[in-house]
Amino acid sequence: MTSLVKVIARYPEVAETAAVVVAKQVEAVVVSSLANGEKAAEFAMEVSGFVKGEKFRSELSSAVGEPFNTESEDEFVGRAKEAMRTLLKKKFI
């Protein structure tokens, strides 16, 4: 199996889509928490830029590792999402 970084490098549209989804989710959470929507949008763009960066992708790939032999694709994606949440919380919260 291939690493997460290699998959993202092979399919850059996946990374872009994931970054946009993360940015929109972060913006929705921040907007509901803050009165200033402009600051929330700026924060969401900062998170999006961070997620698109090579450093984050490398950290995420290291945290997730290779898929386990007994792991389904859905389980692997779920584990990757949890690792992403953990890394984002560590960076921004």
pLDDT single digits (tens) 61-77:
899 888 899 988 888 88
Query: pLDDT confidence of 35, banded at 50, 70, 90?
Result: low
- SS3 label, residue 47: helix
Structural domain count, the chain: 1
- SS3 label, residue 53: coil
- The structure's pTM equals 0.60
Calpha distance 65→37 (Å, rounded) = 36
Domain of residue 24 covers: 4-92
Contact 27, 40 (CB under 8 A): yes
Query: pLDDT confidence of 82, banded at 50, 70, 90?
Result: confident
Contact 23, 48 (CB under 8 A): yes
Is the alpha carbon torsion for 29, 41, 23, 63 positive or negative?
negative
Token readout for 18 is 């994931």
Residue 2 predicted with pLDDT over 60: no
The radius of gyration computed from the CA coordinates of the chain, to the nearest angstrom, equals 14
